[in-house]
Structure 1
Amino acid sequence: MKISKEVKVALLVISGIILFIFGFNYLKGRNLLESTNVYYTEFDYNALSKSSIVTVKGNSVGKIQDIEYDYKTGKTRVTFFVNEALKFSKNSIVRMYETGLMGGNGLALIIRNDGEPAKPGDMLKSTVEVGLISSLSKNFSGLSTDLNATLKSTDTLMTSLNEFVTDESDSGLKQMVSELNETLKSFKNTSNSINGFISSNDGNITAILEKFKTSSENLAALTSELKAANVGNTVASLNKTLDNLNNVLTKIDNGDGSLGKLLKDEALYNNIEGATKEMEELLRDIKLHPKRYFRILSKKEIPYQDEETN
């Protein structure tokens, strides 16, 4: 069976009309293929747009169908529809909230099941939730104040810095940079002089380092020899000898022993002193009259006579 061209054109026109009606209503937020129920609510101001979503616990269950301004009450009436499978009471609340930073606003249906069930065409209570944008606006107002103060402080700082940079006096930055440049030049010249001195005396420095190395090795060898010679025992023995000598000197100082008595006993000292004087007189007499003491030199004994005193 062939279909005539007229029928095909008619079918295309009807299909185009149907698609146009469906698309137009879809753009307005109305889905003709979905069974819906229409409800109403009111707000003191409008922050919504047509086709904004209606959610329940974050799930999309409908859309806003129409937004109208009521000239009698001065409020904004919002018409929205939800899926007919959704059941709730008249005590449920419609809350306007911010869907995100860039997503605009939407309606959230706070479902309550107490009281009389809601029917299509009912007016539901509304509320507005302070969202993220409002909080950010309040925070940004304080932030802008702090930022303004910060910018003023920065401007003052930059002005002071500019004055310091362009200052031509001795305390200015240019003078400081000039003095620093002169200091760096002097340091460079000193460094070059030191490098030249080191280069010209490289041989002497090498010889000194070699001698220092040899001395260090000798000192290390001497230290090893002293360690092997057991210097500790020698020092301990010397300390013991010094202790014994100290004891002897203590006894002498206390008058113990012959030497101590000689130093401390005055009678013995006097006797020794008298004997010494008599010995001196005997030696003097022998020197003056030797014949008295040596018979071999004289046959006749010569009597003893005291030395004449003038």
Structure 2
Amino acid sequence: MKISNETKIGIFTVVGIVILVLGYSYLRGNDVFSKSNRFYAIYQSVEGLTVSKPVLVNGFQIGQISKMSLLPNGHTVVEFKINHDYSVPANTLAKLASTDLLGSKAVVFQLGNSKEMAEDQDTLQADIQGSLAESLQPVQQKAERLISKMDSSLAAINKILNPDFQHNVDRSFNSIANSLQTLEGTTKKIDRLIGAQTSNLNSILVNANGAALNLKNSTSHLTGISRNFENVSNEIARANIGQTLNNANKAMADLQATIAKINSPQGSLGLLLNDDKIYQNLNNASANLNSLFIDLKAHPKRYVSFSVFGGKKSND
């Protein structure tokens, strides 16, 4: 059977139309050859977001935007087609994130930690992250304010830098240079003086070290003396000083009474000390006793006589 040219043209036309529709659908995010789940999110603003933009998880594309619809309240419903191979937790957050400085955006899934997985045609939580341009707006404003302040400062400097001011500045710098030269000369003199007195300074330092060492040794001795004094103070504090003083007073009173009795003429010692007659009698008795001892030594037979055989005593 021979196919006519008209039939061939018709077949090619149909195939072209099908390919065109499929390509258009693919460009719009409708992949008819792969299984996918559809999820939704509602945003207040979708500026910079278009159909076929990718859906990312940590920079990896798991799907794309397939459809966008405007609600009566001005919000936008965005439909995502996610590859059937990837599971999405129910508490996943769909964030609009900026992809470049021009404001283009994509959807970034911040996967949740729920064990329950979202099912086909579920609505996810939506969030909007500011673009890079919006993030840089505060920096830009600060830079503009800084530039304006710099312009005003430069204008003020230009007004200040007139010929008279420059002349005064030159004079000031000359004065500063002269002061620095004078200071340098003074410094050199001080250096020479210190160099000449280095030996004396060394001697002074050595003496100071010796004095410090002596002071340290003296401090140790003083510490020992202080400890001894503290021990003596503690012993005195523990001693019964009152009773000791009372005993001493009593002993002194007894001694005074004894001395009074000795000095009194009524006692033997008092008579011996105060009466001359007793002294003379004692002196005479001593002299007689001495004479008796001399005579006894010279003539012992007068006082002692004995005989072994009972003989008659002879008188000398």
TM-score, normalisation: structure 2: 0.46
TM-score, normalisation: structure 1: 0.47
